[in-house]
Each structure stands twice: as structure tokens, then as C-alpha cells.
Structure 1
Amino acid sequence: MTRPRAASERFVAQLPTRVRSRVQVIYSPILEIKPLPVQVNDTDVRGLIFTSANAVNAAASMGVDRALPAYCVGPATTGTAKGAGWQAQMVGQTAEELVAALLQARPDSPLLHLRGEHTRGSVAERLTESGLTVRELPVYQQRLLPLTSEAEAAAFEKAPVIAPIFSPRTARHFADIWHGTAPLMLAAISAATAEPLYSLGYERLKIAKEPTPKKMRKAIKKLVKHALRVEGDEATD
């Protein structure tokens, strides 16, 4: 699992029991999330935009006004925002869908997009260019990490390694740091995330049908089934 530890544990806990019982889970976060030492000025803001749960958590720790409406990407971010006390609504599965939905709805502005240092989609810029005033502020940083020693060891074993990848940036980093010889099976949350992975010598690459945890779990389930079949074939050779 390449996500930060808490997010990885939540993802694994939601896998079917049958899947969890058939794999050894190795936690090797290749991205570390840390809040930035910034202050959020929300005095004239009419709403918030969240494109990640990490931004929600950072905003909550900074005491950002919970009375503001929150426009979110995806069910995970929306659920995190609701759990933190915002009246959150999901306005798309992707940044593209969020931009289109907000341009159609035209909510009161200015809006404030709270995000990480590294982001895709140019949400604030595109919305502002289309007449909806949106400011943006990075509230957390994403520091890249190497594989753990346990993950490095697994990379050179004979057993297949299944790696779920959840963002284009972590995909690029994983492609840079993976040098293993184990059969590699990859699950990418989107086509953009899959793109950097094509340079790897993988055995199988599945792209989630939608960029959601639910569809990623389905992709993992299929990869586990394939890995078990591969191992079974080798055992009967």
C-alpha cells in the first residue's frame, strides 16, 4: 500500500474479507502529508472547494469556518468534509466534473480552493477565467518517500506484488523507485495515473472504471484473483 498509512489502512479494511485473507499487506507509504504553517483568511469567502480529504483535514485543524458550504470532489472527500462538520456536497468525481458543475450552478463567490502544494486541474484558475471568482491556498505538502525495507525485499521475491496507485504524482515516483524483479501488478485510479506506469515492466495493469475507492477495490480484487491463478499455475509446473 503506497498511500499514507491511515488512508491505506482504511482502504484495506474495506476490502472483502476473502481478498484480505489471501494477501500479505505491506504498508510502504511513498507520500507523506504534512500541514503547511499557513493561516486561512475566510472572512469574505462564500464557499470552500475541497479536492482531497487531506485538504479537509488540514482545514479542520486550522479552524476554517464550518458554516461555509463545501464543494467536494468524490465521495471520500465529501464524506470527510461532512464528518468534520461542513455542509458538504459532492459536485463531481474529478476536478473536470467539479469545474463544469460549479460553472453551471454559479454559487455565490468568492470561493476558496484549499489544496496541496502539488495539484492538477488548475481549478481556481479555470473557474476564475470563466467568471466565477476563486482563490486558492496550499494547506498541506506532499513529501515523496522511498520504499520501506519490507517493500524492497518483497520486490525481489518470486510472489507477485500488487501495487495500488492513487495519483499521477505517486505514479511517477513509483515508476522512478521500483527496480524489483517480482511479477508486478498495478491498479491505477485513473488513466492519468496509469500514464507514468507504462514505462514499468509490469505483468498486468488495471485502471479503475471510475476514480473512486470502490472501483479501486474492484480492480484489486481482480488482480488478486489473477495473482492467485498465476501462483497456482507455477505450483503445478
Structure 2
Amino acid sequence: MPAKPQPRLLLTRPEADSRRFAAMLPEWEAVISPILRIEPVAHDTARLHAARGLVFTSAHAVPAAGAGRGRLAFCVGRRTAESAREAGFDIREGNGFAEGLLPLIEAAEVPLLHPHGRHLARELPVEGVVVYDQIAQPLNDAARTLLAEPGPVIVPLFSPRSARLLSAAFRHFRAEAWIAAISPAVMDQWRAPAACSAIAANLSAEAMAATIRRLAEREQS
């Protein structure tokens, strides 16, 4: 029996995030085509810079809060916590889920602000400030060429909105989608056919990389 074709990766997070993730899977050929562009929006900079406590659910929001100066920051997971720590915040790291921040928020002894994107997957019981937009982008030529051919393409999904946008685009192509989703909630937003799928054990890039390897091994065995 001939060997099944090796699937390629379609990475659709913002460019820097996709390149970091591709480096975790050096054995895979990857095509990068960001489906969202992060664009800063006007906001009350002075208020954020003066806030005694911040809630970060994305590393993209950290620059908007200014220098940490030892201020308290509740961070959804490791990648966001790393960004906040580098900016000088005194971080408290969550478990990767927005819900995991709730006990920290409830126990906070200082007022909190939550800088976030215009499209928010989960509301938190803290005052929010929109500091960036996530603008939908069409697939680039490299991605369209990849998807125009039959054969398996592994599609890692990291957010509900990117899952919806990408599944809408995917319907127009011949490629066979193998979906690796970071959570059940993200998987639920995939609206196109999928030949197979798997869900990561937790909300980390490492878990997603392990899921991709597991999915490929299972489907190619």
C-alpha cells in the first residue's frame, strides 16, 4: 500500500505568532497566512498607564498598558504572562482559560482594568478597554495555492473567530481539512467539512503541537 501523503500546515495566526509556532514543529512544511491583522485603536492611554492592576487575556494587549513598574497583572496563560513579565509587571498566571482568572479577579485588592481586542471571546467581571482590533484578512496566494490541491492540510485553530473565518474560506477549496483545535469551544466554530479533528489537552502552544503530531500519527497509521 502506498504511503499516505504527508500533510502540510496552514498557520493563520498573526505573523509573529505563526512563526513561533512553526518553530515548534520544524519537521513540518508550513504555509503562513494570517487570517487576522492586529491593529491598535485609540484609547485612554493615561488611564491604562496609571491603573494599579491589569487583566490581560492576550499578549497583544500588554503594550497598551505601558511600562509595568511592578504593577499587578493577572494573565490568562503562560505566553501572556511572559509578555507582561518582560514589560515589568508583577504577574499572576492563570490556567490558560479566561474562567481561570475569575477567582484572581474576585480576590483582587486593587481596582482592575482589562485592555482587550474589539472581538472578545469571553466577558469578564471587570471594566474593559478596547486597545486593538482584529481585522479579518483574506488568505494569501500561498495559502490559496495550498488549498486548491486535493490532499490533507492540518489547520490549527486558536480562537473561535479565526475558526469561523477560516471555515468560511475553506469551503471554496479542494484540500482535506485536518483540524487541531485548542479547545472544544473553538472546535464548535468550525463550520466546514473536516476529514478528522483533535482537541488539545490544554490552552498552550505546546499542547497544540502535541495534538498535531498525535493527529497526524493517528491518521497516517
Q: Does 1:24 align with 2:16?
A: no
Which is strand-richer, 1 or 2?
Answer: 2
Provide the rounded CA distance (Å) in 2 between the counterparts of 1:79 and 1:44: 21
Q: Does 1:171 align with 2:176?
A: no
TM (norm. structure 1) is: 0.82
Q: Does 1:182 align with 2:175?
A: yes
Aligned equivalent of 2:97: 94
| CA contact 2:48–2:64 (8 Å) conserved in 1 | no
Q: Does 1:4 align with 2:14?
A: yes
Measured after TM superposition, the shift of residue 43 of structure 1 is: 6.9
- Which runs of 5 or more residues in structure 2 are unaligned? 1-10
Measured after TM superposition, the shift of residue 110 of structure 1 is: 1.3
Q: Percent identity?
A: 36
TM (norm. structure 2) is: 0.88
| CA contact 1:53–1:76 (8 Å) conserved in 2 | yes
Q: Within 5 Å, give how 1:26-105 maps onto structure 2.
A: 26-40=31-45, 41-42=47-48, 45-59=51-65, 63-103=66-106
Provide the rounded CA distance (Å) in 2 between the counterparts of 1:224 and 1:57: 37
Counterpart of 2:148 in 1: which secondary structure? Answer: coil
Provide the rounded CA distance (Å) in 2 between the counterparts of 1:43 and 1:143: 25
Q: After the TM superposition, which segments of 4 or more aligned residues of structure 1 sit over 4 Å from their partners?
A: none
Provide the rounded CA distance (Å) in 2 between the counterparts of 1:148 and 1:67: 41
| CA contact 1:187–1:208 (8 Å) conserved in 2 | yes
| CA contact 2:177–2:193 (8 Å) conserved in 1 | yes
Counterpart of 1:57 in 2: which secondary structure? Answer: helix
- Which runs of 5 or more residues in structure 1 are unaligned? 128-133, 231-237
Cα-to-partner distance string for 1:35-81 (whole Å, 9 max, x where unaligned): 1122321476331100001111333xxx3553311100011111111
Measured after TM superposition, the shift of residue 26 of structure 1 is: 0.2
Aligned equivalent of 1:212: 204
| CA contact 2:152–2:175 (8 Å) conserved in 1 | yes
Size of the aligned set, in residue pairs, is 209
Provide the rounded CA distance (Å) in 1 between the counterparts of 2:150 and 2:114: 45
Give the alignment's Cα RMSD to 1 decimal: 1.8
| CA contact 2:67–2:88 (8 Å) conserved in 1 | no
Aligned equivalent of 1:145: 137
Provide the rounded CA distance (Å) in 1 between the counterparts of 2:112 and 2:34: 32
Provide the rounded CA distance (Å) in 1 between the counterparts of 2:48 and 2:217: 49
Counterpart of 1:155 in 2: which secondary structure? Answer: helix
